[in-house]
Amino acid sequence: MSKSERRLAAIMFTDIVDYTSLSEKNEALALNLLEEHRKLLRQIFSRHAGREIKTIGDGFLIEFPSALEAVRCALEIQQLMYKRNQSVPSERKILLRVAVHLGDVEHRDGDVYGDAVNIASRIQRLADPGGICITQQVFDHVRNAEEFRAEPLGQSQLKNVQMPTVIYRVLPPAERTMITRSDTLEPRRVAALPLAILSSDHQDEYFADGLTEEIINTLSSIPGLNVIARTSVMKYKQANKSVGEIGRELKVGTILEGSVRKAGSRVRITVQLIDVGSEAPIWAQKYDRELEDVFKIQTDIADRVAEALKVQLLKENRKFIEEKAPEDIGAYVLYLRGRYYWSKRTKEDLEKAIAYFGEAIEIDPNYALAHAGMADCYTLMGRHLYLPSREAFEKARGYAYRALELNDNLAEAHTALAAVLMIYNW
């Protein structure tokens, strides 16, 4: 039986942001960056009396005899990575999350065990890219250190941890006098960022973009929420910026972000609602469903966001979502493809969009959204003179009126008709 030893220690966890996604896209690059990051970090650990316990996937588990040295090490790591990232192309940037907790650990067989290890592991996920999270226990030991400051993020109920954990964000030197507080931002002003694509097939980009727009439209229908328009958030697609940076640029208090993976008839959607001021998650959920359940997922997301921000999703809002659903999920997929090409605005892309909307209507002649999409396409075809204007606008008006006949509560139908009347009846 192996001998065990207990002692007080500071435990650090590190993690590379979005490493799994990078591995799926470019395994060779991911492995190259992983090895580079390990070499860089190992030279820093030793300078702060850090002992490498083990690597866990793309991260490290490190033990320190001092909470202060652990935090100093974390800061040196993030400062080094920041400088490195300024001089490399975007695809080679490495963003880390780092967390430190102080507690009693058990040493056995060269490994460490105990609640201190579990807590450090859990809070690491709450750090923002390029950021550092520490617990109250660590803060109590470093609060008088002059070289950094920390901002409270509040309590978090961590999985398999009985008592709530108080968490702080360590401010890098540039932010020492710029503490951001969530109460200076309006929490009901919301931005839904473009969903990241986790599918191996990047042809599914249309699905992620379309679903993002649908979520934005759904949230926009909730009274009491001020939701940022699609055109303002799409520029952050694949942007290498933290939630805090994006939130401050958009002047929002809350951000919804997530990812989507589509495989055949199944879809996996992961979303989290984040408070911009603290950059801490308010709510997170993973959905692994059949594709035909995508409307139920949208309703549930709207419900959870409304609940978290203390507004109410009314029966009319749920009805609004349900009425948009076609009889056949295939029509919805074709509609999303159509919207993807419609947003590109070129003649060739608008022709593709018209073809997809037309296929959706063939599958479900009563699908109002597809008729509205057709109206939008022909409006642009006439406006840009890709078709004779009178021919294009007559078609646009016909499809817009048909969309309203099918669903007079559909916002897209009213918008489509308004565009036709504004341009055609000048």
DSSP class per residue in 307-350: HHTT----HHHHHHHHHH--SSHHHHHHHHHHHHHHTT--HHHH
Long-range CB contacts for residues 397-403, cutoff 8 Å, separation at least 24: 397/421, 397/424, 399/371, 399/372, 399/374, 399/375, 400/371, 400/372, 400/375, 402/371, 403/368, 403/369, 403/371, 403/372, 403/375
Whether 285 is covered by a domain: the verdict is yes
Q: How far apart are CA 34 and CA 57, in angstroms?
A: 10
CB 350 within 8 A of CB 338: no
Residue bearing the bigger pLDDT, 129 or 141: 141
- pLDDT (0 to 100) of residue 201: 60
Q: Are residues 236 and 148 in the same domain?
A: no
Q: Are residues 93 and 225 in the same domain?
A: no
Other C-beta atoms closer than 10 Å to the C-beta of 91 total 11
CB 204 within 8 A of CB 292: no
Q: How far apart are CA 423 and CA 391, in angstroms?
A: 13
Q: What is the pTM of this model?
A: 0.53
Whether 151 is covered by a domain: the verdict is yes
What CATH number should be reported for the domain holding residue 18? 3.30.70.1230
Choice among 133-147, 196-210, 237-251, 337-351 with the minimum mean pLDDT: 196-210
The whole-chain average pLDDT of the chain stands at 86
Last residue of a domain, one of 151, 177, 203: 177
What CATH number should be reported for the domain holding residue 313? 3.40.50.10070
Whether 183 is covered by a domain: the verdict is no
Last residue of a domain, one of 153, 177, 201: 177
Which residues are within 8 A (CB) of 387 and not within 5 positions of it... i.e. 6 or more apart?
A: 378, 381
- The C-alpha angle 147, 248, 246, rounded to 5 degrees, equals 100
Q: Are residues 209 and 309 in the same domain?
A: yes
pLDDT digits (tens, 9 = 90+) for 3-31: 678 889 999 999 998 888 888 889 999 99
- pLDDT (0 to 100) of residue 181: 38
pLDDT digits (tens, 9 = 90+) for 79-113: 999 889 888 888 898 999 999 999 988 888 888 88
Q: How far apart are CA 77 and CA 98, in angstroms?
A: 9
| 255: nearest Cα among 232, 227, 224 | 227
3-class secondary-structure state, position 201: coil
Q: How far apart are CA 313 and CA 306, in angstroms?
A: 6
Q: Are residues 351 and 252 in the same domain?
A: no
How confident is the model over 243-247, as a mean pLDDT? Answer: 87
Banded model confidence at residue 74, pLDDT cuts 50, 70, 90: very high
Q: Are residues 96 and 169 in the same domain?
A: yes
Banded model confidence at residue 198, pLDDT cuts 50, 70, 90: confident
CB 403 within 8 A of CB 377: no
Question: Which tokens hold the place of 120?
Answer: 């450090």
Q: Are residues 167 and 229 in the same domain?
A: no
What CATH number should be reported for the domain holding residue 380? 1.25.40.10
Q: Are residues 31 and 165 in the same domain?
A: yes
Other C-beta atoms closer than 10 Å to the C-beta of 356 total 24
Question: Which tokens hold the place of 153?
Answer: 């993020």
Whether 368 is covered by a domain: the verdict is yes
Whether 251 is covered by a domain: the verdict is yes
CB 189 within 8 A of CB 226: yes
Whether 336 is covered by a domain: the verdict is no
Choice among 179-193, 288-302, 361-375, 381-395 with the minimum mean pLDDT: 179-193
Is residue 363 over pLDDT 90?
A: yes
Domain housing 240: 189-324
3-class secondary-structure state, position 363: helix
Q: Are residues 317 and 348 in the same domain?
A: no
Whether 329 is covered by a domain: the verdict is no
Q: Are residues 14 and 134 in the same domain?
A: yes
b/e per residue 365-392 (b: at least 16 CB within 10 A): eebbbbbbbbbbbbbbbbbeebbeeeeb
Residue bearing the bigger pLDDT, 161 or 97: 97
Last residue of a domain, one of 137, 156, 177: 177
Whether 239 is covered by a domain: the verdict is yes
Residue bearing the bigger pLDDT, 72 or 315: 72
Q: Are residues 243 and 299 in the same domain?
A: yes
Is residue 389 over pLDDT 80?
A: yes
User: Per the structure, how many domains does the chain have?
Assistant: 3
CB 298 within 8 A of CB 267: no
Q: Are residues 307 and 227 in the same domain?
A: yes
pLDDT digits (tens, 9 = 90+) for 313-322: 666 666 666 6
**Kind of pairing between the strands at 226-227 and 189-192:** parallel
Q: Are residues 312 and 377 in the same domain?
A: no
Question: Which tokens hold the place of 383?
Answer: 């406006």
